[in-house]
Amino acid sequence: MKRLPIIAVAVLWSVQALAVEGNAKRGQTLFQNCMACHSLAADKNMTGPSLSGLWGRKAGTVPSFTRYSDALKSSGMVWDDQTLDKWLADPEHTIPGNTMTFRGIADAQQRADVLAYLKQATQPGNAQMAQQMPQMGGMMRTSVPNLKKLDAEDRVQSVGYCKDTYEVTTADGKKHKIWERNLRLKTDSSEDGPTKGAPALVPAGMMGDRADVIFSGPDEIGAFVKSNC
């Protein structure tokens, strides 16, 4: 087989490397798909752990996150450019048995873009950058709303239940009747969660027929939800 000249090999390698060079600006936009599960602020965990300080960290070791799978904790994986690229491509087979539901990013360029953004945004001192996300459709997209200060229409006073219906009364006096399968009772004990005694009513779903009632802790649920048949 005829060998390519050394210069040609070098040029070919450079072209291939350039093809997967990450663009942080594009990666910032792509990362919006991850914001529902991951925060970039230190120790602010969501469905998944905070990604702050990710590079060089051993998988499954954020002390404040308690929901790691045994597979991830025992993997011995250390996060760097190579391991993160492999993980983003196919998490299910990179660490078999982990509980992450994300299927992966097949496109190498998109993975490179996400990693370029994350490498900057997860470094110490870059918290402000990490919270800045591009505007889409004239609205800033955020991951979790702050529920400490609520308007009267969003502050829950009581939750009644009869047959298959929840009746949520808010501080503005309105009563919202919601089918039991369309109302979710949740808790948020973080700094963004509601004040104790003032649960939040948060719209959910695309059709406007679903909602969440978010409490400051599980002890409040029994105090608010009462049978009223």
Can you name the residues that pair with 185 across neighbouring β-strands? Answer: 213
- Do residues 225 and 159 touch, judged by C-beta distance below 8 A? yes
Q: What does the pLDDT read at residue 63?
A: 94
pLDDT in tens, 60-115: 999 999 999 999 999 999 999 999 999 999 999 999 999 998 999 999 999 999 99
The set of residues, in sequence order, having a beta carbon less than 8 Å from that of 162 and lying 6+ positions away, is 227, 228, 229
Domains, the chain, ranges and CATH? 6-138 (1.10.760.10), 152-227 (no CATH)
pTM here is 0.68
Coil, strand or helix: which one is 82? helix
80 Cβ contact partners less than 8 Å away, ≥ 6 residues apart = 55, 56
E-strand stretches of 97-145: 135-136, 139-140
Q: Which tens digits make up the pLDDT trace of 145-160? A: 799 999 999 999 999 9
Six-digit token string for 106: 């097949």
Distance CA 213, CA 182 (A): 11
Q: How far apart are CA 107 and CA 207, in angstroms?
A: 32
